[in-house]
Structure 1
Amino acid sequence: MKQIGHKIQSGLSTRWGFFLLAIALFWLKTIYAYQTKFSLGVKGGMQAFLMTINPIPTTLLLFGIALFMNGRKSYITLLIIDLITSTWLFANILYYREFSDFLTFNLMKGSGAVSNNLGKSIAGIIEYSDFLVFADVLILIILLATKLIRIDYRIFMKRNAFAITGLSVVLFGANLGIAEADRSGLLTRTFDNNYIVKYLGMNAYTVYDGVKTTKNNAIKANADSSSMSSVLKYMKANRVAPNVEYSGVAKGKNVFVIHLESFQQFLIDYKWDGQEVTPNINKLYHNQNTLSFDNFFNQVGQGKTADAELMLENSLFGLPEGAAMVTQGTTNTFQAAPSILNQHGYTTASFHGDVPSFWNRDNTYKSWGYNYFFSSQYFKEGKGYNVGYGLKDKIFMQDSAQYIEQLPQPFYAKLITVTNHYPYLLDKQNQSIAKTDTGDDTVDGYVQTAKYLDQALGEFLIWLQKTGLDKNSMLVLYGDHYGISGNHKKAVAKLLNRDKFTDFDNAQFQKVPFMVHMPGLKGGVNHTYGGEIDVLPTLLNLLGVKNEDTIQFGSDLLAPNRNQTVAFRNGDFVTPEYTKVGSTYYDTTNGKILTHLTDVQKKQLAAIGKHVTEELSLSDKVITGDLLRFYTPKGFERTDKTMISYKVKDAKQKLKDSPNKTSLIQKNNGKSTMDLYETDAPELK
């Protein structure tokens, strides 16, 4: 036995031995990560086989770089490469746990715009087992440090190093060929990064994303006016006439858009600990003067909140990777809701209790035409005022009121709440409901922050009533994206009192609230299928704004005979009849998998899939090519960003000097209404 151990030790003390050991350890930990840290959706023997072998080619290629060196330098180089690739894997594990996707270059490029306040989120995401991805590096270092493996100083033949490089290329080519045979158009048609990783591996995905990022940057440089032809053709074929009955019913009204952070539809009427979690939102949802939608889906990608804002105010989809607000928000031409409404006599303002650079809002909002952006610079500071991503909602909404009362009417005001944001932290003095008991820390605090958000909204609504603003305003509420990801299936099943939580259930779990409330509005719960891409055309019709030649990929949610296909960013979709998750199709009415498709069903699904692919691709084309610079709707005037300033001093002076004497405070003979605003926020007492 001792002799066998000596032979193994001697073998590992050669360059070949150490190299093969490093490859084996890296392969093992990668497979471990694939199977325990990601949900790649592996189905069938072929996909399982490819997932098992795909780390080998790229690991051979990368680790093989060390074979071109000799002595100690070779070992150090291999360890550095191992550490770098392990760190990249570790970062993706953390990102995937919360966002169900992989890191991209565009996302990292914009990380400076979203990096603040991430410390608590990251701390809440990390699990001890995540650090096992560094185990191979540690093992190799220990073996070398204790001299259980000795450095081989002999010259390693360059032809052998080149042979390893050649072998890695051949193996990758074989991997790619088999993958393409199993999934045609893998690198050209996919909208889901999971497919790239499970077929080709993490390192290959990184290269793929880098190439695609470079290619997309070149698209903008090469785009010209002729690039719009396919987009205009699509618009002509798919534009839907709005609902005439509702056209202009809110003409001239103020518009409040309340962004309900991470708020999902299941919270409507949800009870816990013997009480309604969101009584104020529930009451509004069921009000006879509220148009509520119970099949309204978030359609965000990696940009999460940024994607929701982009869709809501531009009717353009977020990008497959990164956030368009960060990568294109500063330089692109947009025809957004604020710009459109500015030209119809509206004052436009966005309110957010965090730093102005978050998601590059300070630059993007100028491109969208916002007259004002009230960020954290405008709000008071104090001990305990902030949580996670900005001011607590009660403090934020009260502070926002002092600027709302100064806005010339009619105005379009968007208020972005943040307290109901992962990791759902709330100090004890603000908790008014017990945590749920799923045992999942990510899930259990969700009802506490959701209830706090609801209470903050309730206080704001009372102020609107006291000031009379409610009588001349249209209130729009929407959830921006999911609060609980599909990676918490057991906890969600318990939360919803179900035996299990399937992929189909998760697709339906992407529903978020969308409701429009206004005195005298003919309301009710509408069952049409739609999503965030449809908000802008819906609101413009209600406001009586003509919308016949704009570039918008959504349609009026109230329009008769509208296409009810809801496209998700990864190419999946939901319709009243069918739901697609990955390569699996379900009957939307009962959640059953469609295993034996009829010819009619195959034809229908192919048509829906083609439509989804086309609208996502064309929307991407508009953004990445900055195509709106080549097209201007009739009567639309481009925003002059040089005339917009979000500096506190400039904005306050502009409000004071406004020639339009229609603000709430001016109509109240110059007297503030802030004494009417009541909040029980303990921090303010």
Structure 2
Amino acid sequence: MNNIRLKINDIKLKINDKFNINIDDLILHVKNNIDIILFLIIIYVKVMHYGKQISPEYFYSKVNRPIIASILILVSFFTLFKQRRRIKLLFILNIVISLVLISDIVYFRYYKDVITVSALKNVKLLTGVSSSVKSLISIKDFLYLIDIVFLIPIIKRFEVVDNKKKVFFRKAAMFVATLLIGVVMDTQSVYAVSKEQPTLISSMSDRIYLTKMIGNINFHVIDAYNYVSTSIKNSSKLSTARENEIKDFLVKNNQSTGTNLTGVGEGKNLIMIQVEALQSFVINQKINGQEITPNLNRWINKSMYFDNYFYQVAGGNTSDAEFMSNNSLYPAESGSAYYSYSGNAYNSLANELKSKQYYTAAFHGNNEGFWNRNVMYPVQGFDKFYGQHSFNIDENVGLGLSDKSFLNQSFDKLKTLKQPYYSFLVTLSSHYPYDDTKGYGNFNVGQYENTLLGNYLKGIHYTDEQLGVFLDKLEKEKITDNSIVVLYGDHFAIPKDNADELYKFEKISNANDLTWEQYQKVPMLIHFPGDENKGVNHTYSAQMDLYPTLANIFNLPRQYMLGKDILNSDSGKVIFRTGTFTDGKVFYISWTNTYYDIKTGAQIPETDTLKAQKEQYLKELQYSDDILNHNLIKDFKKK
């Protein structure tokens, strides 16, 4: 035994002589920092796991570098503390990061986005959709916290082995070295992204793509920085040159390009219905020989129907659909415009119709404060908001007042309005997660029974039935003789997590990103008196284009709209908040930086023309942000 010990000591001496390393000091150094090493490994595994959940097919291996770098930067500051205190602080930080990751993944399941500082303003709005939030949480999510259970007894028994020799200098050296390595690695990664997509870091137009390139921790740090810097920047006045640039774009964008159906709606009532989670794939579709939406199918046949109409919502979801349809401004860069910009002035549809002596009223069966509607409706020019307290809550389906009761009561109120009027109705019963299957009735969905898709089909079939009754009553009472009726869906029904169910139902194989994007359409119809102008319009269009189109029909001035008049434009331009866009011929997918030819479905290379188009469209998103951030419509009207 003594011989063995002598040989080990001899080996140590030889190593020390050759590499000038003291093995005992090295072992002690590792023990002193075992908490940091363990923290690095645990957080790395969690962040990587989160990344693969939000982008399983595209989460790049090169994101390892910025993830490790961001964790190194975090832990560098903790190297300055004594080990016992540092262990406790790292334990708390582990819990905080784990809770952020859980919140992020739950938020992603519904919004298909990463949570931001601005979005946190809307947390109180989630109280009205608690069932939706609960349905999004999986028991697997809490695996992010499982390590904490095992770490508690380890921390309690952990022996601090800090070597007191030259403690300050050693900690200072470790802090500088760790921070420097992390900053250099992180800077290189962020610079690579900014070089590839110059505006992505500042605009954060595609948060999923940004997260998969730099990792979750870096994303939240940059988001917080952008939020603070934007708040500071927007507290100051926009430069005159920038303001004039935006004004020039608006003048050009709002020039009339034709006179098709111009003014045909003057003096007529406008009845606009926004339908919760109505997606286009259910239109003219059957299951087990039954039409899913027989009433909408019937009304589409006697209306002008837009079959390539996309939703463009972002963090504000339903409220974004309302905001775009009534203002032709893009959703807020982060969070909800209904919440963040309720103090702004708007050149909205209701405001413009009021200037022509229209009475304006909004109808929704949910509580008045949800999505800040009680504030935003008056700001947008609605004379009256019939919210939850204006209805007899006699029947609940889904999240609240049933569409049957809501539409019946709304019809009675509609008949009392002074003409001409603009009435804006928002339905509720077909809201995610479509779990009120008893309230939806006995619609047979066959093999899709007890699935999200099956429940949705039941929910939208129920809503279709109620819409049919409502529309037929409008016709029977001859209200449609002097009214233009607009109906559209607000946003997606089937989340991407359930894409396989949708593709199976649609008999789609070999689906790709283009396939998914092409399914993000919602129905939109415009019914004219006497069933005039019926037919199908195939123009690629979206919610930003509704107000300009109605402005043409009702002969309203066009000044501050970013969309197009679908009836008098050959442009297929549709821009999404993520930076994804289409011109009706090519579809650009921002999170993979890929272009597709719509006709062939094949990927195509980026050309100078497409690159210029992408840059221009991103610029238009920034114009909208500037308009909102600086309340420019108010300034423009003053001048």
Q: Which moved more, 1:311-320 or 1:499-508?
A: 499-508
Question: Helix, strand or coil: the match of 2:43?
Answer: helix
* d(CA) in 1 for partners of 2:270, 2:328: 18
Q: Do residues 567 (structure 1) and 543 (structure 2) align?
A: no
The match for 1:200 is 214
* d(CA) in 2 for partners of 1:620, 1:436: 46
Picking from 557, 560, 584, the partner of 2:594 is 584
The match for 1:333 is 345
Question: Helix, strand or coil: the match of 2:367?
Answer: coil
Q: Which moved more, 1:114-123 or 1:198-207?
A: 114-123
How far 1:195 sits from its partner (Å)? 2.5
How far 1:180 sits from its partner (Å)? 3.9
The match for 2:48 is 31
The percentage of aligned residue pairs carrying the same residue is: 27
Picking from 596, 611, 617, the partner of 1:612 is 617
Q: Is the 8 A contact 1:577 1:587 kept in 2?
A: yes
AA paired with 2:456? Y
Question: Helix, strand or coil: the match of 2:587?
Answer: strand
AA paired with 1:25? I
The match for 1:630 is 635
* d(CA) in 2 for partners of 1:184, 1:616: 14
How far 1:570 sits from its partner (Å)? 1.0
AA paired with 1:557? I
Any residues of structure 2 matched to 1:269-668 within 5 Å, and which?
269-287=284-302, 290-329=303-342, 331-382=343-394, 385-388=396-399, 390-435=400-445, 437=447, 441-520=451-530, 521-545=532-556, 547-548=557-558, 550-560=559-569, 562-582=570-590, 583-595=593-605, 602-632=607-637
Q: Is the 8 A contact 1:100 1:487 kept in 2?
A: no
Q: Is the 8 A contact 1:278 1:451 kept in 2?
A: yes
Question: Helix, strand or coil: the match of 1:528?
Answer: coil
Q: Is the 8 A contact 2:397 2:403 kept in 1?
A: no
The gaps in structure 1 that reach 5 residues or longer are 1-6, 635-685
* d(CA) in 2 for partners of 1:225, 1:396: 48
Q: Do residues 126 (structure 1) and 137 (structure 2) align?
A: yes
Structure index of larger Rg: 2
The gaps in structure 2 that reach 5 residues or longer are 1-23
How far 1:274 sits from its partner (Å)? 2.2
* d(CA) in 2 for partners of 1:108, 1:381: 30
* d(CA) in 1 for partners of 2:551, 2:227: 34
How far 1:623 sits from its partner (Å)? 0.7
* d(CA) in 2 for partners of 1:19, 1:409: 71
Residues 31, 437 of structure 1: CA spacing in aligned structure 2 closer, same or farther, 3 A cutoff?
farther
Question: Helix, strand or coil: the match of 2:462?
Answer: helix
* d(CA) in 2 for partners of 1:558, 1:181: 39
The match for 1:237 is 252
RMSD (Å), alpha carbons:
2.3
Q: Provide, for residues 562-606 of structure 1, a one-character-per-residue CA deviation record: whole Å limited to 9, x for no partner.
A: 3221111111112221011121110111211115x6xxxx13312
How far 1:439 sits from its partner (Å)? 8.2
How far 1:242 sits from its partner (Å)? 5.0
* d(CA) in 2 for partners of 1:486, 1:419: 21
Q: TM-score, normalised by structure 2?
A: 0.90
Question: Helix, strand or coil: the match of 1:77?
Answer: helix
How many residues get paired?
A: 605
How far 1:243 sits from its partner (Å)? 4.0
How far 1:299 sits from its partner (Å)? 1.2
* d(CA) in 2 for partners of 1:182, 1:137: 38
Q: Is the 8 A contact 1:42 1:48 kept in 2?
A: no
Picking from 158, 166, 173, the partner of 2:180 is 166
Question: Helix, strand or coil: the match of 1:54?
Answer: helix
How far 1:63 sits from its partner (Å)? 3.2
How far 1:197 sits from its partner (Å)? 1.1
The match for 2:107 is 95
Question: Helix, strand or coil: the match of 1:32?
Answer: helix
Q: Which moved more, 1:154-163 or 1:251-260?
A: 154-163
Question: Helix, strand or coil: the match of 1:18?
Answer: helix
* d(CA) in 2 for partners of 1:607, 1:21: 47
Residues 436, 220 of structure 1: CA spacing in aligned structure 2 closer, same or farther, 3 A cutoff?
farther
The match for 2:38 is 21
Q: Do residues 209 (structure 1) and 217 (structure 2) align?
A: no
Question: Helix, strand or coil: the match of 2:235?
Answer: helix
How far 1:286 sits from its partner (Å)? 1.4
How far 1:341 sits from its partner (Å)? 0.5
Q: TM-score, normalised by structure 1?
A: 0.84
How far 1:506 sits from its partner (Å)? 1.1
How far 1:184 sits from its partner (Å)? 4.5
Q: Which moved more, 1:493-502 or 1:290-299?
A: 493-502
Q: Provide, for residues 47-72 of structure 1, a one-character-per-residue CA deviation record: whole Å limited to 9, x for no partner.
A: 421x1222212222223443322253
Q: Provide, for residues 506-558 of structure 1, a one-character-per-residue CA deviation record: whole Å limited to 9, x for no partner.
A: 1111111111002232121011111111101111211222x24x110112110
How far 1:190 sits from its partner (Å)? 4.9
Question: Helix, strand or coil: the match of 2:177?
Answer: helix
How far 1:258 sits from its partner (Å)? 0.6
Q: Do residues 252 (structure 1) and 274 (structure 2) align?
A: no
Q: Provide, for residues 403-447 of structure 1, a one-character-per-residue CA deviation record: whole Å limited to 9, x for no partner.
A: 212211111001100111110122425323134645884333110
